[in-house]
Structures are given as structure tokens and as C-alpha cells.
Amino acid sequence: MPERNMDDIQLRDLRVLEIILAQASLTRAAALLDTTQPTLSKSLARLRAHFDDPLLVRDGQRMRLTPRATALQAPLRELLRDADNLGRPGAAAFDPTSSARMFRLLLSDVGMIRFLPPLTAYLASAGPRLWLRAVPLDSHDFESRLASGGADLALGTYAKAPRNLRRQYLYSDGYVSVVRQDHPQRQRLGRRDPFCAAQHIVVTASDTGHTAHQLAQETIEAAIAPDRVLLRLPSFIAAALVAAETDGVATLPAVVAHSMAGHLRLAIFKTPIAMPSISVAQYWHERYHNDPAHRWLRQTCFRLLGRSGRTNGAN
């Protein structure tokens, strides 16, 4: 076995290794790290040489971790967390008026409607050099993006959010139904039987932000006959647009319905079947919990978007 020491490897190599092992895919890891796959392949070659282990091996169409790589994951997380915490007790307070910080938010289409307008306006007034970027949500790399710094916060309703993420409750929402204002059955749809007999635009649960919608989808489909489904699609915004141009009924989170009703000439009514509630929170990784800029962002989001309620791991 060749002789090795820590001079052969740098902290940034270990950060790369953590993402590669978490993703088990050079393609996904390269996307998270905003680099190219050939560059990442060179980094992996150095890491393989250092640890004298292949770390990842191909198994059909997938890459699998070796036993050595699996054993490295926990101590690697600990080491990087300790490195991030060095010097933090004396870290300077975050000053938004002079910072050029780019904040990245993981958002679904609902989140973009609900959160981006107030946050964009506030950041523009709080600091002339602050930036905000919306990152498309995919539940497959939800935790990895927060752990790697590819996103600062995830805002929304995520039923499958990993338990080890920090989170803070913001508010609860519910569902309402919408139709175009000149819908021929508009006055009757608030009753269960006419509602169930109408044509419906069903928003399907997906990995891009709507996994928590699964129960609501099942509730609607249990109440209506299969031939009453006019269209299935994975976007609440698209469902509202289709409802504005057809006789279909779309059942949406209330915040989406009220945001779009005026623009699309939609009529809103109470859904005449019992629908689940929606609990909205902000999520972040332990690694950035004590970062002053990150703390400022979380406090800003809670102040602008939150309602009084319980919190878990707040601030």
C-alpha cells in the first residue's frame, strides 16, 4: 500500500468527495458543484489514489459506493462540519447594506408565487448588492443542495424532508377550487354532487415540489369518477391557466388561487369535500445554522412570511 498523508489532499477535495458520495453520480454531483464532469472525474481519480480505494464502482446503469466509501461518509460529515465551525464564535455580524451575498432558495411553482415577490422587494431595499436566486426543486437532491451550499433554504411543504434538516414552521394553508367566472355551473359547484359531476383538472404529486400534494390528489380522485378527469398535470399554475380557458374545475392551494384569480378572471369557491391542510416551513442544513448571513436570511423569511405558531430548531 502506498504511503499517504493529509498533505496529499485539501479541504476542497473532501467537500467534493462528500457530494460525490451523497449523489453516487458524477453527473448530479457536477451539477450541484457547478463544474464539469471531466473536472470531477480528475478529482475522483486523486481521491481514489489517496484512499487507495475505487470509492465508486459501476453496477449496470448505476454507480455504487464501496464499503470503504460508505464507512467514510459519517466521519467526513463530522470533519467538514468542524471545519465550518472554526472561528464562528467570533464571526462578524452580517451587514446587508454592504454585503454582496447571493442567496439561493429551493422553491416549487407555488413557492415562487408566494415567496419571491415579497423577498425580492425586501432584499432590494435592505441591501443594494444583495442577490436572490430561485433554484428548481427536485426532491432527489433536496438534502444535498442544502448541505453543499447549492441552496441556502428550502421554502414550502415537503413531506419527505430528511429528519436531520433544521426547520421552522411559517404558516398553514388550505385548498380551494376555481373555475372561470362565466362557467355555466358556477353557482352550483359549491355543493358536493355538482362538484363531483363536473370535469376536473387534477394536479398530480411529483418530485419537483409537490410530494406533499399526494394526499390531496388522492382525496379528489376518490370523490370523482375516473371519467370526470379532464386533464392531469404536475403544475398548480398550469392548472389555473387551463381552468381559465375550459369548463374544468381546478383545486389549488389557497395562496395560488388568490394570487391568480384576478389575473385570469377565476371564481374561487370552497371545495365541498374535506381537504387536507398544508403546513409550510423553511428548511436548512445544520452546517449553515450559525452562519450570520444565513441567520439573517432565515429571520427575514420568518418576519415577512411567517405567522405565529410553533417552531422546531428555529433561527
- What is the C-alpha separation between 250 and 200, in angstroms, rounded? 6
Helix axes 236-245, 254-264, angle to 10 degrees: 40
How much is the pLDDT for 22? 85
- Determine contact, residues 251/271, Cβ cutoff 8 Å: yes
231-252 per-position pLDDT tens digit: 999 899 999 999 999 999 999 9
Q: What is the DSSP letter of 312?
A: B
Residues 193 and 224 in one domain: yes
Asked if 244 and 291 sit in the same domain, the reply is: no
Helix or strand or coil: residue 205? coil
pLDDT number for residue 209: 57
- pLDDT score for 135: 85
Domain annotation covers residue 91: no
Tell me which amino acid residue 35 is: T
Whose CA is closest to 266, among 282, 246, 280?
246
**Rounded distance, CA 156 to CA 115, Å?**
9
288 and 155 together in one domain: yes
Residues 157 and 301 in one domain: yes
What is the tally of structural domains in the chain? 3
Find the helix packing angle between 109-126 and 236-245, rounded to 10°: 110
pLDDT of residue 162: 81
Contacts of 59 (CB under 8 A, 6+ apart): none
Contact 106, 158 (CB under 8 A): no
Rounded to whole angstroms, the Cα distance separating 99 from 83 reads 23
Report residues of the chain scoring pLDDT below 50. Answer: 1-6, 308-315
Maximum separation of any 2 CA atoms in the chain, in Å:
80
236: nearest Cα among 263, 270, 202: 202
| Residues 112, 82 contacting (CB under 8 angstroms) | no
Q: How far apart are CA 178 and CA 271, in angstroms?
A: 9
- Please tell me whether residues 116 and 137 are part of one structural domain: yes
Find out whether 292 and 92 touch, Cβ atoms under 8 Å. yes
What domain range includes position 189?
A: 175-276
**Predicted TM-score (pTM) above 0.75:** no
In a domain, 1, yes or no: no
User: Cα(64)–Cα(48) distance, rounded to whole angstroms?
Assistant: 14
Amino acid identity of 63?
M
Q: Which of 138, 127, 139 is nearest to 103 (CA)?
A: 127
Residue 96 included in any domain: no
193 and 265 belong to one structural domain: yes
Cell of 177: 377550487
- CATH code, domain carrying 127: 3.40.190.10
Residues 299 and 229 in one domain: no
Question: What is the structure's pLDDT at 158?
Answer: 80
Q: 179 and 272: one domain?
A: yes
The two beta strands, 153-156 and 131-136, are unpaired
The pLDDT value recorded for residue 88 is 56
Do 107 and 152 lie in a common domain?
A: yes
Question: Which of the 8 DSSP states describes residue 186?
Answer: T
Residues belonging to the chain: 315
Task: Kindly give, in sequence order, each residue whose CB lies less than 8 Å from that of residue 234, ignoring residues fewer than 6 positions away.
Answer: 203, 204, 206, 208, 210
Domain membership flag for residue 183: yes
Phi first, then psi, for residue 104 (nearest 5°) are: -115, 130
For residue 233, being part of any structural domain is answered with yes
C-alpha cell of residue 256: 395560488
